Amino acid sequence: MERGVRDLNILEKFALEFTHIVEHYSRYIIVSGFVAIVHGRSRATEDIDLILERVPKEKFAQLHAHLEKGGFECIQGENPAMLYDDYLAQNTAIRYIKRGTPLPDMEVKLAKDRLDELQLQERTKLPMTNLPFWFSSIETNIAFKEEYLKSPKDLEDARHLRVVYGGKLDKEKIDRWKMLIKKFRS
Amino acid sequence: MDNERLQQIDRWAAYCKAEPEKAKKAVNALVDAQIDIANRFYERLRKTPEGRKAYQKLLKLRMERSGKGQ
């Protein structure tokens, strides 16, 4: 059973509102730190990372308008054509906050390569969290944190996820993802 | 990472696995407090012209971090 809204923390409520709007326009995945936090990792964060399918400009403009109507604002600007051309199309993320509330923010980017497309194809819900979001798989998150991101915070996130999932992890999948990361992101 | 830190990560992760509801309550309190405290600070900061400038600089720094993750 999914958690009631009263049981959610600020980050989860923010993600819930945001993804309710996003899913009208595009497939998405939430990746990285938020994935560890919703599995109990006790650390601070300012943002949630979200990858969208590579939607065309017109569709992004519709999504942006819906987000604005829903009380969100993009901190890089209001003009959807500018946001698309100057940021998203250049593979740079944009950030949305609730109007007037600096934190948290949703860092949004478009799928930029085969790895992002694969993550979207393999997207999954994570029953252990009781949350309705689409995530990249636990194995993928661990692989990115250990092979690509590698900061102490990321390595601790990966370690936390390895303990929480224990014997349920597909270790071959983690290794396959690490090889893909070396191939596409090195 | 030093050994003590690693042990602490493992202990907490094991607790999350064994007592997910209790761990969730503790994490919710931490996450909510962190964000509430930061937002209250930003609200105070934006009350003066110098503070508003500092706030804009902080936003710019956040934008510069964009896209460096997974």
Residues across chain A: 186
* pLDDT(B1) > 80: no
Inter-chain touch A155–B1, beta carbons under 8 Å: yes
Cα Rg, chain B, nearest whole Å: 18
At position A156, the amino acid (one-letter code) is E
Question: Taking a contact as any Cβ pair under 8 Å apart, which residues of chain A between 53 and 72 contact chain B?
Answer: none
Q: What was the pLDDT predicted at B64? A: 85
The predicted structure's pLDDT at residue B70: 82
Asked if A144 reaches chain B (Cβ–Cβ under 8 Å), the answer is yes
The pLDDT of residue B2 is above 70: yes
Among A40, A145, A152, beta carbon nearest to B23: A40
* Residues B19, A32: Cα–Cα separation, whole Å: 23
Q: How confident is the model at residue A6 (pLDDT cuts 50, 70, 90)?
A: low
User: Above 60 in pLDDT, residue A1?
Assistant: no
pLDDT at A3 (0 to 100): 65
- Measure CA A83 to chain center: 19
Q: Measured between CB atoms, which of A40, A148, A152 is closest to B27? A: A40
Supply the pLDDT for residue A142.
98
* Chain A residues inside the 8 Å CB shell of B59: 75, 102
Contacts of residue A39 in chain B, CB cutoff 8 Å?
A: 16
Q: CA-nearest residue of chain B to A107? A: B66
Which of B15, B20, B43 is closest to A103 using CA atoms? Answer: B43
The verdict on a CB contact (< 8 Å) between A163 and B30 is no
φ, ψ for residue A72, nearest 5 deg: -95, 155
| Total residue length of chain B | 70
Residue A77 tokens read as 């600007």
Residues 7-36 of B with CB under 8 A from A: 9-10, 12-17, 20, 23-24, 26-28, 30-32, 34-36
**CB-based contact, A75 to chain B, within 8 Å:** yes
What confidence category does residue B66 fall into, taking pLDDT thresholds of 50, 70 and 90? confident
- Point out the residue among A49, A91, A94 whose CB comes nearest to the CB of B70: A49
> At B62, is the pLDDT very low, low, confident or very high (cuts 50, 70, 90)?
confident
Question: Which chain A residues contact residue B9 at CB under 8 A?
Answer: 156, 159-160, 163
Interval A164-180: pLDDT, tens: 999 999 999 999 999 99
* pLDDT value of residue B30: 95
In chain A, which residues have their Cβ closer than 8 Å to the Cβ of B69? 31-32, 49, 107, 149
One-character DSSP codes across B20-55: HHHHHHHHHHHHHHHHHHHHHHHHHHTTSHHHHHHH
Predicted model pTM? 0.93
Among residues A50, A44, A33, the alpha carbon closest in space to that of A142 is found at A33
Question: Across the beta sheet with A47-52, what order do the strands follow?
Answer: A28-31, A47-52, A101-110, A94-98, A72-74
Does B13 contact A76 at a Cβ distance shorter than 8 Å? no
Condensed to tens digits (0 to 9), the pLDDT of residues A53-65 reads 999 999 999 999 9
Taking only the tens place, the pLDDT of each residue in B17-56 is 999 999 999 999 999 999 999 999 999 999 999 999 999 9
Q: Supply the ipTM of this predicted assembly.
A: 0.86
| pLDDT, position B69 | 79
pLDDT of residue B49: 96
The SS3 assignment for A74 reads strand
**What is the band of A98 on the pLDDT scale with cuts at 50, 70, 90?**
very high
Residue A97 β-bridge partners: A73
Residue closest to B45 by CA, chosen among A95, A77, A106, A102: A102
Average pLDDT in chain A = 95
Closest to A161 (Cα-Cα) out of A2, A10, A43? A43
Confidence of residue A71 (pLDDT cuts 50, 70, 90): very high
Contact A31, A119 (CB under 8 A): yes
- Report DSSP state, residue B61: H
pLDDT in tens, A75-92: 999 999 999 999 999 999
What are A31's strand-pairing partners? A49
